[in-house]
Structures are given as C-alpha cells and as structure tokens.
Chain A
Amino acid sequence: MSNQSGLKAIECHTFNLSFDDIDTDQIFPAEFLATTEREGLGRYCFHYWRFDDRGDPISDGPLAGFDPGRHQVLVAGNNFGCGSSREHAPWALLDMGIRAVISRQFADIFYANALKNGLLPVTLEPAALEFLHSHPDQRVNIDIPSRTITIEEYGTLEFPLDPFSAHCLVEGIDQLEFLLHQEQHITRFERLSKTN
C-alpha cells in the first residue's frame, strides 16, 4: 500500500495492550487470510480477542474500551508482531484506526511491513513503556521529522527511526519507485554477476 499522503505527526491517546510477544496470528488470525483484498481488514484485527466464537463482541476482553477515533496509538509490551510475515497485520491495524504502535522491540518483518504501509513502529525504553502501561489513555504527540514522542505526563523522548524511512514516511515516498529508479544498478549487477 503506498502511503501517498505522508505522515508527519500523530496526536491522540494511547491504548494499552501491555502483553509481550503479541504475534501476528493474534493480530490477524489465519482463518481470515483467504482474501485477495487489503482494504477493510480492520474487522478481523485481534478478532479472537474482540469476538467470541459466535461472533458476539467480548465486552471484557483486552480491547474493551478501544475507541478508534481517540486511540490511534497502541502500547504493547516487548517483541510486538512476532511470528508470521503476513502483512495483513499492519493492514488490519491501520484499518482499525491504529497509526502507531509502541513496543520495547519489534519483530523484524513486522517492523519492515509496518513502515512500508505508513504504520509507525515506536521503540521505547523500559521506563517510558512502564509509565505508559501504568497510565492508560495518555495523551501523546509523535513528531516524525524530529523522531520524538511527547507523553503528556512523562516528557519528550527520541525514538530510533532511520532517516530514509522517516523521509519516506513524511514525504509519502513509495519505496517501489525508489527501487525502480535503481534500474541501471540492477542491470549492471545482472550483467556482472554469474550467481546461479
């Protein structure tokens, strides 16, 4: 999905899912993978956490109280997005209204998938994360060009984001275009290399 509009800042409230190792099977159960779409997948997001086996909402589940307009930043524990490479996970999170996820550390494939779709992965140190876990519904302000997050009652922190990804996010640059512009390099590589 290209992120044509660009993403400079996110101002909203946090929603806590304070568990470690939230895998992509939780975010997007395999049962719903038989799709050729990538829009409208939000209804499957955390499906088993939100709906019982009859399809009725679970009123006291981990996502009880989630308000899509208000809560655009998810706060997880450690190692968010581990497991399957399914990009349906970030697609579904975005469609559910999430624009950034905060975790101690992200699984590599999820991290890459998120950035390519304009979903911001924010890595924070344990102290800040603990503060967020114990202070739900915090007002936060994330500024991408300066790579900072301001947590209203905690302070402002920098988070790691490589300049290229930041640039692509802010400008809405599509990485496929960038790759296609490498045509000369690719052709030369193919000519020179006899690998397999």
Chain B
Amino acid sequence: MGHTLFEKIWQAHLVRDEGGDDDDGAPAVIYADLHLLHDVTSPQAFAELDRRGIGVRRPDLCLATIDHSSPTLPPDAEGNRPYVSQAARLQAEALARSCERHGIEFHGWDSRHRGIVHVIGPEMGATQPGMTIVCGDSHTSTHGAFGTLAFGIGTTEVGHVLASQCLLQRKPATLGIAVEGQLSPGVTAKDVILHIIGTIGVDGGTGHVIEYFGSAIRALDMESRMTLCNMSIESGARAGIIAPDEVTFAYLKGRPKAPTGEAWEQAVARWRMLTTDPDARFDRVVEIDAQEIEPSVTWGTNPGMVIGIGERIPQRQDASAVDARSYMNLQSGHPLEGHHVDVVFIGSCTNSRISDLRAAAGIMRGHRVPQGTRVLVVPGSEQVRLQAEREGLHEVFKDSGAEWRESGCSMCLAMNGDMVLPGELVVSTSNRNFKGRQGRGARTILASPLTAAASAITGRVTDPRKFLGDSF
C-alpha cells in the first residue's frame, strides 16, 4: 500500500521510531528542520535552557521575530515604540537578547523582514516543501500550504527543540479533505476553511493531520492555500498540508532563502515527489463540494459556528449555542447580514498578505467608511506593507477612512493595545472568535477579506458579492 504525503515526511524525519512494548514505549523522536520563534512563547524556554546550562543545538535552523505584542502605531520623536506595557517591551527585548546570545537570526524593529511569524517564513522562502516546521504557536499549520509538516508546540517543547532540534511525538492519524469543483465568484479560501470547520466541527480534526486535495485546492494560489492551512488548527487538527506543485515552486523561486542554480533544480526534483500515492489510505475522508460554499461568517464563539452570509442564525438549543448567542447578543432565526458593525479588522496570519489587501482594497476603492464604524488594516509583515504602499493600497484604505498600520498580530489577539471595546461587534479576517479574544467583551464575526471590506464600507455585515462588479 502507498503512503500519504504526511507519512512520507514523518518517515523522513524519524530520528527514532516509537518504542515498542518491549522497549521504553517512548514516542517517536522527530527532527525539526526549521524552528520559528516569536516574543510570547519563547522567553520561558530560553530561561529553562539557561537554568540548566544548555545551549541551542542548531541556531542555524531557527528564525525569530517579534509580532504578538508589537505596537502597530509609529514610534515617537525619540524613536520609542508605543508598547502597551513595560512587560510587553521587556518580553520583546528578552527575545532579541536570547537570539543574539545564541546566534539566532532575529528580525526586530530594524529588519525589513519583521512581521507575523507565519507570514515571514514563507515570504523569505524559509518554508520549503518536505520540511518539518515547528513553532510555539498553534497557527504553524499555515506552512503546510507548501507541503511541509508544520505544527504548533508548547513552550516546554520549544525548549526541547532549542536544546535537541527534536520533539517527542505520537504519530497522528490522517484525514483527507477533498474539495472538488469550482469556487463561485466572491468565495475565497477563508470561506472554504470556515465552511470546512462548520462541517467537521472544532474537534473534527483532533488527533489528525489534514491533507487538502481536489480540483478546488489545486486552483488556489499560495496565499490562499496558506489561509486554508492556517485555520486547520481551528478544527483541532495537528496540521494541514497540501502537496506542492508548480504553483508552489513558482512562489518560492527567487525568494531570499530559496535554493538557487543547480540546488534549485535538485530541490524541485525532490519536491515533485512529495505527493500522496494513489493507493494510499487516509484514516478518514471528507468530501466537500466547492460549488456549495458561500461567503461564510461565524455567528458564535468558536470557529465552527458558521453560516453562509445569507443564512439565518441557527435555532440550535444546545448549551453552547444558547451561550454563544447570548454572548454575541444575537437572536436565532435572525439574519446576520445587515447587522451594524462597530469595527472591521483586516489582518492576522490568516488574511494579511498582499493578495488579501488587494482584494479588500478592490472593494473599498472609492468608498467611504460610514460614521460609527472603525476600520483597521494591518499588513502581515513589513514586506507586505512596503509592497502595498508601492501599489498605493494604503491610500485606498486611508482615503476610505480606514487606519493603515505597521505589521503585527494586532487585533487578532489584542495584546498590543489594538482592541475591540466591550460589547462591540467586529467583522474580522482573523481566525478566532472566542469570547474576549479581540478584547474583553468583544463580539467577533470571522469573515474573508472581501466580506470584511464590504462590511467596512457599509458599516453592516455585507455580502461581498454585492460589490463584485466594482472589483472583478
């Protein structure tokens, strides 16, 4: 029997297989090709290494940046960044110091590659097919878009990887998700993944690595594939993965960390073999009809509470649904469409890349954000920001009345001071609508950049297809 793509990568990174019953029964020891680090989940790991007097085994396989608590407003006259607290500033400085001490490549305030860790990895070409990539961050699944096995780990494991470049892991099960057919106009990768999570549930992927395949997946560009894999974790999946193809290779070619010359040719030849064999078996398979997917939005307090934008809020009477409707202050049987929106956030590692900003600007161009709605656009990285500014997208956003910021996680998790006020309703291109995620008492509707942009210029939850004529 053949092997799935996941199994091939797993097998190629086994330092030691799981111990059998007669052995110590230990989990497999898996080698990490790339370890991404950011401000929030690494300080305690470095401290533990220091406490034990252990060094970093492979600083050359680490890449670090600051993103979670980074202020998105410019520095003051003295060049001081407006950190929300001294603690946040110290945390970022601690990472910079640890990286310097251990010889780890670090992209801080002076780097043109600073940005959200899951945006800069691919952008720099550090994320490459066939790799194992780990990071103390659950949205590491993003990198699976390149045919990598990429997953989030906790801080103790960050320490393990720093010290040994390895992780103790049990082999996950596999879930194949086939998306066949053509997506309708106005339906994006974000709608596809929201639809999938709405279908399989927030624990539908638990214990599994998801491989996405099918004609609708093949038709997606790399940034869309990243959006899709990014939210795999919201179904509980360990990782999401898409087999690399010409689209992947074209994206990577010429990026700063991608191989060049003969090494590039050899790499592509190797990468072409990264497919799931036709006779391989997944533990489970789910089939999705691309044609059925509408622009999707969440109505509740987890990313599985999803409806098509034209649908009504479900009448479900289970405790979670009742509690979610009460927190969201929304009534069952009512439409979400047309509901007043206080804030629109366009950003996060899910949807802050250049194609996301182009899509949003395409809808917002020439329109004004109405009074009573605040719109924040936060590029995913400095590279994205610079590119958007070269294209004049920032002017489109600013002319419409939106705020154009510097890069970072920002309002996705609201720990940098960019936050939604209690009770406010936000249409957000981020990935989590948990209670309080975007600020205490914030009520989040997750949506695509198109839906967010359409909602921004109307001040109401709006079906982006109403504006397609303007932008397509």
Contact = CB atoms under 8 A, between A and B. Distances in A.
Interface stretch (A93-101, A104-112, A143-151): A104-112
Q: Give the interface size class of chain B.
A: 35 or more
Interface stretch (A4-12, A66-74, A124-132, A182-190): A182-190
Given A25-B435, A34-B415, A113 B154 contact: yes
B206 A85 contact: no
Given A26-B434, A30-B415, A37 B31 contact: no
Nearest to B44: A38
Interface string A55-97: 0000000000000000000000011001111110000000000
Interface string B124-137: 00001011000011
A16 interface: no
Interface in A164-196: 164, 167, 175-176, 178-180, 182-183, 185-186, 189-190, 193, 195-196
A19 B320 CA distance: 7
B154 A175 contact: no
A157 interface: no
Contacts of B25: 162-164, 167
A36 to B, nearest CB: 4
B323 A19 contact: yes
B159 interface: yes
Given A82-B236, A116-B154, A195-B13, A20 B320 contact: yes
A178 B157 CA distance: 13
B40 A195 contact: no
A23 interface: yes
A85 B38 CA distance: 13
B13 A33 contact: no
Contacts of A23: 302, 432, 434
B206 A31 contact: no
A119 to B, nearest CB: 12
A113 B437 CA distance: 21
Interface residues of A, number: 52
A162 to B, nearest CB: 7
B31 A193 contact: yes
B154 A162 contact: no
A176 B159 contact: yes
B456 to A, nearest CB: 24
Contact of B152 (A21, A85, A180): A85
Contacts of A116: 154, 156-157
B26 A112 contact: no
Contacts of A107: 203, 206, 236
A81 B157 CA distance: 17
Interface of A: 1, 19-21, 23, 25-26, 29-31, 33-38, 48, 53, 78-79, 82-87, 105, 107-109, 112-113, 116-117, 162-164, 167, 175-176, 178-180, 182-183, 185-186, 189-190, 193, 195-196
Interface of B: 12-13, 15-16, 19, 24-27, 29, 31, 33-34, 40-41, 43-44, 47, 52, 54, 57, 68-69, 84-85, 87-88, 90-91, 94, 128, 130-131, 136-138, 152-157, 159-160, 163-166, 168, 170, 172, 202-203, 206-207, 236, 238, 302, 319-320, 323, 413-415, 422, 432, 434-437, 440-441
9 contacts: A25-B436, A29-B440, A30-B415, A48-B435, A53-B441, A85-B136, A164-B24, A175-B156, A176-B156
